[in-house]
């Protein structure tokens, strides 16, 4: 079990942060509020990014 | 979306805390999502919003969605949001807001606080608790080493068929193990927590070398019960590590998973 505050792989940590900061938390309508479509776009972008990083690391290993 | 360029400043709200417990000194060391605005509190009645000023050229409706596509911007801002909330977490219960909730004036922030008096009850429910994250991964190679019988050596049709049968047995055994382990893990951890969520699993292309994700849990744990929760996790680890399961504990987090989301 890892007691570390942050996992070693920074990309996964960013995903973990995005999972909480962008995807959870109270959604109240502000004068500016992110649309669900905007959040989903971030996920699409991140998944592509992380997938390519992961495959790069596998190639290196 | 109207692509009108916006100007002026807005108030970025990170979350809400009880007005009586909160002091702006909590945030003295925390940098907000934009260098131009120090993190402060905007109070109305029993509630106070943690907020900082942001330029609408960067955080206006059209601008923010555009900026979210820039991974460096996203990472910096998401981390800043989290850092501000973590600074508060040490000293007070808090209701985290989702990233990117912005008001045009501090009057609008106060109006939001007045219109959401139920946040007081949510804060009371969260008092004395923290969110912990537990992810569990299966090392598939290790599982197969432990559960697979010796591969049939040799060439020919019979050896090939035996290998195929063995692979199918292993795949079935793995699928039922993953289900059982996930269920058992979540149940044990939930019983050591006030509240629990099992979130969608990350797909293998995202977990990369970490293995097959079998649990992506969030647990609301009383601060005075944190040791018991960690004991429950250690017990699971002792039990399932020989099968190739690895647990990862993160937190304490602001209770993102335990405030209702209107999505």
In a domain, A30, yes or no: yes
In a domain, A5, yes or no: no
Determine if the pTM surpasses 0.90.
no
Mutant choice from A1, A39, A53 vs B, greatest count of B C-beta within 10 A: A1
Query: Residue A17 belongs to what domain range?
Result: 10-60
Q: What is the pLDDT of residues B100-123, one digit of tens each?
A: 999 999 999 999 999 999 999 999
Q: Is the peptide bond between B26 and the residue preceding it cis, with omega within 30 degrees of 0?
A: no
Confidence of residue A51 (pLDDT cuts 50, 70, 90): low
Residue of B nearest to A18 (CA): B78
Q: Is A60 exposed, middle or buried (0-12, 13-18, 19+ CB in 10 A)?
A: exposed
Among A1, A25, A31, beta carbon nearest to B108: A31
Segment B139-166 shows an average pLDDT of 82
Q: Do B100 and A33 touch (CB under 8 A)?
A: yes
Q: Answer yes or no: CATH 3.40.630 is held by domain B129-258.
A: no
In a domain, A4, yes or no: no
Q: What is the pLDDT of residues B208-228, one digit of tens each?
A: 677 899 999 999 999 999 999
Minimum distance, in Å, between the CA of residue B136 and any CA atom of chain A: 10
Q: Is A61 exposed, middle or buried (0-12, 13-18, 19+ CB in 10 A)?
A: exposed
Residue ranges covered by each domain of chain B: 9-125, 129-258
Among A20, A36, A50, beta carbon nearest to B206: A50
Structural domain count, chain A: 1
In a domain, A3, yes or no: no
Among B75, B108, B263, beta carbon nearest to A27: B263
In a domain, A47, yes or no: yes
């Amino acid at each position: 079990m890892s007691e570390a505050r942050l996992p070693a792989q920074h990309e996964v940590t960013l995903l973990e942060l995005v999972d909480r900061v962008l995807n959870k938390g109270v959604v109240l309508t502000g004068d500016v509020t992110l649309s669900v479509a905007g959040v989903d776009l971030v996920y699409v972008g991140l998944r592509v990014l992380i997938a390519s990083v992961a495959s790069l690391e596998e190639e290196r290993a | 979306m109207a692509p009108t360029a916006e100007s002026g400043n807005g108030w970025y709200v990170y979350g809400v805390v009880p007005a009586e417990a909160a002091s702006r000194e909590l945030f003295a060391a925390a940098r907000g999502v934009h260098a131009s605005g120090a993190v402060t509190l905007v109070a109305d009645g029993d509630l106070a919003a943690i907020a900082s000023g942001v330029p609408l050229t960067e955080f206006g409706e059209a601008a923010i969605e555009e900026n979210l596509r820039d991974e460096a911007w996203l990472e910096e801002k998401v981390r800043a949001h989290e850092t501000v909330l973590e600074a508060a977490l040490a000293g007070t219960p808090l209701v985290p807001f989702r990233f990117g909730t912005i008001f045009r004036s501090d009057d609008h922030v106060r109006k939001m606080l007045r219109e959401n008096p139920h946040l007081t009850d949510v804060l009371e429910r969260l008092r004395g608790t923290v969110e912990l994250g537990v992810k569990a991964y299966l090392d598939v190679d290790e599982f197969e080493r432990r559960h697979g019988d010796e591969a049939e050596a040799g060439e020919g049709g019979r050896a090939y068929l035996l290998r195929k049968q063995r692979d199918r047995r292993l795949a079935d055994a793995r699928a039922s193990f993953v289900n059982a382990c996930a269920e058992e893990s979540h149940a044990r951890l939930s019983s050591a927590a006030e509240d629990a969520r099992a979130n969608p699993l990350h797909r293998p292309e995202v977990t990369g070398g970490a293995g097959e994700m079998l649990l992506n849990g969030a647990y609301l744990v009383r601060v005075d019960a944190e040791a018991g929760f960690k004991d429950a996790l250690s017990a699971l680890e002792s039990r399932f590590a020989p099968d190739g399961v690895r647990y990862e504990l993160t937190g304490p987090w602001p209770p993102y998973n335990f405030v209702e989301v209107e999505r």
